A and B are shown apart, each in its own frame.
Chain A
């Protein structure tokens, strides 16, 4: 079975500071991993995805994530936070197996606050 844990339901950073949102996964097969962003009252937008190619994945809006198999992690980072980055972020892993095939397994989400 697969699962995702996002450490920290709320993260607060100052504008211009480093953004680090943590995601750990559990998977019995090589994982496919995703980060999504959700702005208030909107749907989810794909930021980036890991599909077993390069371990450092670059996404939209200056975000990137590094797949670390030894740590079962896929943390999301951005060197310098902007006010427009304030949103909720979800990490997800592709499901495999009889009960999860075709699904995405989502973490609980992390709300990013950016202070001026």
Chain B
């Protein structure tokens, strides 16, 4: 089955620790995205990547880092510089800018709780 996987589903970390969230897709999509979701605030874009080895900051990139070494993978690191990291994190992918509609397909999400 083609799709996007995120792991783990739930993640607990102590304050001050870096943590990496995994996102893998087998849809052969060029573009990948990371969003943060907090209650009542909709989706906010953290980082996105249109092609391997390239990525851009979204609206709330401070305290986060990403890499895009492979087309299938787009891991997100939540660093200790992120002041309020507890949230639901969603990864998505799309065919890329050349696609007509370029709809995004989402993974199941990772809920991060910092203790």
> Given that A42-B108, A49-B103, A51-B101 are known contacts, is A102 also in contact with B96, CB under 8 Å in the complex?
yes
Q: Is B107 an interface residue (CB 8 A)?
A: yes
Question: A residues within 8 A CB of B104?
Answer: 44, 104
> CB within 8 Å of B: which of A92-116?
94, 101-104, 106-109
> Given that A41-B109, A44-B106, A106-B42 are known contacts, is A32 also in contact with B100, CB under 8 Å in the complex?
yes
Find the B residue at minimum CB distance from A111.
Answer: B40
Binds A, one of B43-51, B61-69, B72-80: B43-51
Distance between Cα atoms of A101 and B106 in the complex (Å)? 19
Q: Which residues of chain B have a CB within 8 Å of any CB of chain A?
A: 4, 6, 31, 33, 40-43, 45, 48, 50, 58, 88, 90, 92, 94, 96-97, 100-109, 111
Question: Mind listing 25 A-B residue pairs with CB under 8 Å?
Answer: A32-B102, A34-B103, A36-B106, A41-B88, A41-B109, A43-B4, A43-B6, A43-B90, A43-B106, A43-B107, A43-B108, A43-B109, A46-B103, A51-B100, A90-B42, A94-B102, A101-B97, A102-B94, A102-B97, A102-B102, A103-B33, A108-B40, A108-B41, A108-B42, A109-B42
Question: B residues within 8 A CB of A36?
Answer: 106
Distance between Cα atoms of A106 and B100 in the complex (Å)? 18
Question: A residues within 8 A CB of B100?
Answer: 32, 51
Q: Is A9 an interface residue (CB 8 A)?
A: yes
Nearest Cβ on chain B to A46's Cβ, whole angstroms: 6
Q: How many A-B residue pairs have CB under 8 A?
A: 58
The one of A46, A103, A106 in contact with B48, judged by C-beta atoms closer than 8 angstroms, is A103
Interface size on A, residues (CB 8 A): 22
Given contacts A90-B43, A101-B97, 18 further A-B contacts (CB under 8 A): A32-B102, A34-B103, A41-B88, A41-B109, A41-B111, A43-B90, A43-B92, A43-B106, A43-B109, A49-B101, A49-B103, A51-B100, A102-B31, A103-B45, A104-B102, A104-B103, A106-B42, A108-B40
Q: Is A45 an interface residue (CB 8 A)?
A: yes
Find the B residue at minimum CB distance from A6.
Answer: B42
Question: A residues within 8 A CB of B4?
Answer: 43
